[in-house]
A and B are shown apart, each in its own frame.
Chain A
Amino acid sequence: MRLWFTLRWSARDLRKKWLQVAAIAFVIAIGTGVYSALGSTATWRRESNADSFAMTGMFDLRVKAAEGATAPAGALLAVLQHLPDPSVVSVAEERLIEPTQVDASTPGRSILVPGRIVGVDVSGGGPQLMIPFVAAGDGRALTAGDDGGATAVLERNFADFYDLPPGTTVRLSGDQSVTAVGLGLAPEYFFVTTEDGGFFAQANFAAVFVPLATAQRLTGLDGKVNDLVLNVRADVPVAEVKAQVTAAFAAADLGLGETVMTARDDTTYRLLYDDIDGDQKVDNVFAMLILAGAAFGAFNLASRMVEAQRREIGIAMALGSSRRQLALRPMLVGVQIALAGVVLGMGVGLLAIWALRPVYMTTLPMPVWHTGFQWAVFARGAALGFVLPLVATAWPVVRAVRMSPVDAITTTHRTARGGLAPLLRRLPWPRSAFRRMPIANVLRTPRRTLLTSLGIGAAVATLVAVLGMLDSFYGTVDANDREVLADHPDRVAVALDGFVKVDSDQFAALSSSPTVGAIEPVLRVGGHVRAVGQPMTSGFDVIVESIDMTSEVWTPTIAAGNSDHGIVISRTAADDLHLSVGDSVILTHPALSATGIAMVDTVVPIAGVHPSPYRFGVYLDRSQLAVFGADGLANAAYLLPSAGTTPDDVQRALFALPAVASVQPVSMSSTVLRNSMDSFTSVFRVLEGFILLLALLIAYNATSINADERARERATLFAFGLPVRRVMAIEIVEGLIYGLLGTAIGIGLGAVVVNWVASSVISTTMPELGMKVIISGTTILTAVLLGVVAVAVAPLLTLRRMRRMNVPGTLRIVE
């Protein structure tokens, strides 16, 4: 047999089966395309970070004065002149940064949050470093002409959260107001965090960028600055310059109590880089999962397609073909599938990028977003996508070649060796041989049954894994809501500027507001817990809240133990520490000492556990505060609005009080949490569509191949006068059984994957979250709809083919 002959023959195979070949290729394409897109996210983010920080002039070094300290304008820049070589600094600018309170309320809604006035140098037409970048459509940037005027650029994450358009007027502390001529993204706020480490703080923090002279006027600090940012010449190591700058400022002794920071000391900068690998890990799990689902599906389908040619292989063996010749024709089909899969995969990859790009742009808004096609990642996926169909087609060839030609030829007559027939024999129902037919088909060909169900199972498993992840994330948020919002969804959290006595005037000012119904003092400090005998590196950070455990405002649910002697920690935390109620932990917490506030270790028993999925919440009854030397102190409060007032009223009334730093309904934190979850999960939403398509393709193909294998039996039934509808019924019942099996396998496998992701991936990338694995009824229903209904209905797609079947032709064919 010459090659061209084989080629023509195989082209004929292709023409007959082009739909199946295309569908299998598409399955591979979805796997490799989605894999390449998801596997590229780390690269995209690194490139986007680098260019966004470069474009907005992220500092190499920042000299930050201690709170309250200022220096005359120009004094900080002057210090740089005393560096051993002042030319190592390529750009430097002074800033004035002061805390403020921002009132951006709209007619329908109170928006009252703490914030920062950031005065920047506009003398050169706008700052050159730490630029608040204003995108097209978001208004305009600051110019030299704005200096001293009441114009500002408002931080965009905050503006977006509250839907504030450019042109919004915001009121600042001291009865001042500025007009936001633009909404800007600045490198320190690409990802908004607060000083005390709260993430996704855009709901409760507003940066207002104004020209330096304006900032000085608004804050009453005329001619003052308190911040210096600079970039270092590219050929000089930053660390070296940092040492020189530190030394120069120490020598200048401006009385600023300054800190010299590198970019990596900036929380946002660090987070934006540090999160990349963890997030990529989660993405990779799903990229792999989809690739594996597609790979298995494609393998399964391709090998069955070739398996159907086994008889031909046997005949060729009987004619004396060499193994190479035998393998060639089916392998050519494999090559065709592989090539088509890889080419289509690029298309799917581009489609996936197109779908993912807006997700990243909205969840992590940055001035520059690179989402280029990553050839290296694609090549990795495509290599598998290419090799797999080859192996899949070679496998049945190898199997066929190993048997004697006689056995290979007689395959169609010897497919049924009985299989699980004994099981069938004991099955009392159905009695009719005709009704037994689909069950017989399933039970007596266990290999085919297994392959078909596994194919469907792979698709269902991928779907369940992704939907299950979403269920688990939202289930976790819901669990937190149930705990935090519990009986009083209108609870309001107040943060105070500092520590006050509960019986002080400042606190009385809160409780005496007519808007306040009930109030509960809270002492909230950051801390750390670890098991006794363990080093500080073990354990984790917590937030310790001292509250009155008998308060009517809010108390955590005590799931086990009590709150009498010791702390109440979350069950997640207890599990992570491998401890339970009655055991002791080392709590590192701030304490007042003779020299000021210092962190000290105290061994405390775990009195009880609460059910919050977040492990950082630690509660302590106020009756035990004396032990920590903090009796009667508070720096926050929880309160309930009085009858007839809303959280909004409370916010307006209390925000004006001098001791109050912020007032937010507790539900806001749940909204923010949900938003942050949305941004994390929207990637999965994109995947959902691809996976649904993948699963449908696999289901359709499995059915279509099944139909091919059964063509003769169908024709025989027609010859006996069985109407199309009843033949269809047999196949639907058969499909239903495969679907049920496949769905059961898929749901089980999917649950295993979700469990694994939750226990090993999420617990390392998001350690503060004790994710509960939840697979919702909707997910099960979707899986069943897809796995059972779609698979059972798939034979209907072959209805046309069935109606037009050439009965005598099909019967006569000796395959």
Chain B
Amino acid sequence: MTSAVHLRNVSRRYTVGTGEVFALRDVDLDIEQGEFVVVLGPSGSGKTTLLNLIGALDIASTGQVIVSGSEISSAPRHELFRFRRETVSFVFQSFNLFPTLTALENVQCAVEIAGRAKGAKQKAAAVLAEVGLAERVHHYPAELSGGEQQRVAIARALATGNPILVADEPTGDLDFHTGVQVLEVLQQQAALGHTVIVVTHNREISRIADRVIELSGGRVVRDGPPSGGKAAVADLHW
């Protein structure tokens, strides 16, 4: 069986002025369906770039990217749109909520975009409740705290029901309690068979992952189960 995410010899190069910057360099990676993967690495190591390639927001300069059986690196444009709609859901580092839509509508909107207009509103309300925002559904992004906005963004990604969920620093702005809540939700998704890829600076979070991938200077420098074994969310402290 093919893996959910399959990267071979992948590089992402930027030309800046006369020089070249490698955001990613010769990355080989396979992630199985239902895996909960944490990507660790210092700032500028290529974590966001990796997520963008997996989510088909960006195209590799060289190498092969196959996600859920789709060859992204060579797919035509309209294929990419369909792919994003049906396969990967994003939680962005800077929330990117629609400012003129309420929390509920932001989530509802994503469900509709994914092509499930029927019952979208109920679905959206349910997912918002899951991330602890049942009381805030009618708030606009401007009326929510940073952490709440982040949770709406997560709810928006979850609600699409896409098999792969990628999250860039989802707990960065959250307090411990809320952060744990979010991680539990993400873990639950993995348990339900979704592939979850979380990017973080926070080594502590990596303890609850099935697998930790460490990047440095655009290369994979470590790949394996968390050192010290997989921990439960309840055991985390930061």
Q: Does B133 contact A (CB under 8 A)?
A: no
User: CB < 8 Å: which of A416, A418, A720, A811 contacts B85?
Assistant: A720
Q: Does A433 contact B (CB under 8 A)?
A: yes
Contact A719 B113 (CB under 8 A): no
Contact A433 B105 (CB under 8 A): yes
Residues of A within 8 A of B226 (CB): none
- State the Cβ distance, B140 to closest chain A Cβ, in Å: 5
Residues of B within 8 A of A713 (CB): 96, 98-99
Report the Cα distance A814→B104, complex, angstroms. 24
Contact A433 B57 (CB under 8 A): no
Report the Cα distance A814→B94, complex, angstroms. 8
Contact B113 A722 (CB under 8 A): yes
Report the Cα distance A431→B96, complex, angstroms. 23
Known: A417-B140, A720-B89, A720-B160. 12 other contacts (CB 8 A): A413-B141, A416-B142, A421-B140, A437-B100, A713-B98, A720-B84, A720-B110, A721-B86, A808-B48, A808-B58, A811-B92, A811-B94
Residues of B within 8 A of A421 (CB): 140
* Known contacts A413-B99, A716-B96: A723-B81 contact under CB 8 Å: yes
* Known contacts A721-B81, A811-B92: A416-B105 contact under CB 8 Å: no
Q: Does A415 contact B (CB under 8 A)?
A: yes
A209-230: which residues lie under 8 A (CB-CB) from chain B? none
Contact A721 B99 (CB under 8 A): no
Residues of A within 8 A of B81 (CB): 718, 721-724
24 pairs of residues in contact across A and B, judged by CB atoms under 8 Å: A413-B99, A416-B141, A431-B121, A434-B108, A436-B101, A437-B101, A437-B109, A712-B96, A713-B96, A713-B98, A715-B96, A716-B92, A716-B98, A719-B92, A720-B84, A720-B90, A720-B160, A721-B80, A721-B81, A721-B84, A721-B114, A722-B113, A724-B81, A811-B94
Contact A433 B84 (CB under 8 A): no
Contact B96 A811 (CB under 8 A): yes
User: CB < 8 Å: which of B86, B90, B93, B108 contacts A812?
Assistant: B93
Q: Does B82 contact A (CB under 8 A)?
A: yes
B157-186: which residues lie under 8 A (CB-CB) from chain A? 160
Contact A444 B100 (CB under 8 A): yes
Report the Cα distance A721→B75, complex, angstroms. 14
Residues of B within 8 A of A718 (CB): 57, 81, 84
Q: Does B218 contact A (CB under 8 A)?
A: no
User: CB < 8 Å: which of A410, A416, A440, A721 contacts B83?
Assistant: A721
Residues of B within 8 A of A712 (CB): 96
Q: Does B210 contact A (CB under 8 A)?
A: no
Contact B83 A441 (CB under 8 A): no
Residues of A within 8 A of B121 (CB): 431, 433
Report the Cα distance A712→B57, complex, angstroms. 14
Report the Cα distance A718→B112, complex, angstroms. 14
Report the Cα distance A716→B89, complex, angstroms. 11
Residues of B within 8 A of A415 (CB): 99-100, 142
Q: Does A414 contact B (CB under 8 A)?
A: yes
Report the Cα distance A719→B56, complex, angstroms. 8
Residues of B within 8 A of A715 (CB): 96
Q: Does B46 contact A (CB under 8 A)?
A: no
Q: Does B236 contact A (CB under 8 A)?
A: no
Report the Cα distance A416→B55, complex, angstroms. 29
- State the Cβ distance, B126 to closest chain A Cβ, in Å: 15
A390-421 to B contact mask, C-beta < 8 Å, 1/0: 00000000000000000000101111111001
Contact A719 B108 (CB under 8 A): no
How many residues of chain B have a CB within 8 Å of chain A? 41
Report the Cα distance A436→B105, complex, angstroms. 9
Q: Does A432 contact B (CB under 8 A)?
A: yes
- State the Cβ distance, B128 to closest chain A Cβ, in Å: 13
Q: Does B52 contact A (CB under 8 A)?
A: yes
Report the Cα distance A721→B86, complex, angstroms. 8
Contact B99 A434 (CB under 8 A): no
Nearest residue in B to A722 (C-beta to C-beta)?
B113
User: CB < 8 Å: which of A417, A418, A720 contacts B113?
Assistant: A720
Residues of A within 8 A of B124 (CB): 433
Report the Cα distance A723→B96, complex, angstroms. 18
- State the Cβ distance, A407 to closest chain B Cβ, in Å: 11
Report the Cα distance A811→B92, complex, angstroms. 8
User: CB < 8 Å: which of B89, B96, B112 contacts A433?
Assistant: B112
* Known contacts A413-B99, A437-B100, A812-B48: A432-B117 contact under CB 8 Å: yes
Q: Does A717 contact B (CB under 8 A)?
A: yes
User: CB < 8 Å: which of B78, B114, B120, B140 contacts A720?
Assistant: B114
Q: Does A445 contact B (CB under 8 A)?
A: yes
Interface residues, chain A, with chain B CB atoms under 8 Å away: 410, 412-418, 421, 431-434, 436-437, 440-441, 444-445, 712-713, 715-724, 807-808, 811-812, 814
- State the Cβ distance, B72 to closest chain A Cβ, in Å: 12
Contact B108 A433 (CB under 8 A): yes
Report the Cα distance A433→B120, complex, angstroms. 9
Residues of B within 8 A of A410 (CB): 142
B211-228 to A contact mask, C-beta < 8 Å, 1/0: 000000000000000000
Report the Cα distance A721→B124, complex, angstroms. 18
Residues of A within 8 A of B108 (CB): 432-434
Residues of A within 8 A of B48 (CB): 808, 812
Counting chain A CB atoms within 10 Å of each CB, the highest count among B52, B78, B112 belongs to: B112
Nearest residue in B to A716 (C-beta to C-beta)?
B96
- State the Cβ distance, B53 to closest chain A Cβ, in Å: 9
Report the Cα distance A441→B98, complex, angstroms. 9
User: CB < 8 Å: which of B82, B89, B113, B160 contacts A717?
Assistant: B113
Nearest residue in B to A806 (C-beta to C-beta)?
B58
B32-68 to A contact mask, C-beta < 8 Å, 1/0: 0000000000000000100010010110000000000
Report the Cα distance A414→B144, complex, angstroms. 10
* Known contacts A413-B142, A436-B105: A445-B100 contact under CB 8 Å: yes
Report the Cα distance A632→B82, complex, angstroms. 93
- State the Cβ distance, A91 to closest chain B Cβ, in Å: 80
Residues of A within 8 A of B149 (CB): 413
Report the Cα distance A814→B141, complex, angstroms. 16
Residues of A within 8 A of B94 (CB): 811-812, 814
User: CB < 8 Å: which of A412, A431, A717, A723 contacts B99?
Assistant: A412
Contact B96 A416 (CB under 8 A): no
Report the Cα distance A186→B221, complex, angstroms. 98
Residues of A within 8 A of B113 (CB): 434, 717, 720-722
User: CB < 8 Å: which of A418, A719, A723, A814 contacts B57?
Assistant: A719
Nearest residue in A to B86 (C-beta to C-beta)?
A721
Contact B112 A432 (CB under 8 A): yes
- State the Cβ distance, A707 to closest chain B Cβ, in Å: 15
Residues of B within 8 A of A716 (CB): 92, 96, 98
* Known contacts A413-B99, A432-B120, A434-B112: A722-B141 contact under CB 8 Å: no
Residues of B within 8 A of A437 (CB): 98, 100-101, 109
Residues of A within 8 A of B105 (CB): 433, 436, 440
Residues of B within 8 A of A416 (CB): 99-100, 140-142
Nearest residue in B to A441 (C-beta to C-beta)?
B100
Residues of B within 8 A of A720 (CB): 84-85, 89-90, 110, 113-114, 160
* Known contacts A432-B112, A434-B109, A808-B58: A719-B101 contact under CB 8 Å: no
Contact A721 B85 (CB under 8 A): yes
Report the Cα distance A434→B111, complex, angstroms. 9
Report the Cα distance A74→B84, complex, angstroms. 103
Nearest residue in A to B139 (C-beta to C-beta)?
A418
Nearest residue in B to A813 (C-beta to C-beta)?
B94
Contact A719 B100 (CB under 8 A): no
Report the Cα distance A413→B106, complex, angstroms. 14
Residues of A within 8 A of B109 (CB): 433-434, 437
Contact A433 B101 (CB under 8 A): yes
Counting chain A CB atoms within 10 Å of each CB, the highest count among B96, B99, B104, B142 belongs to: B99
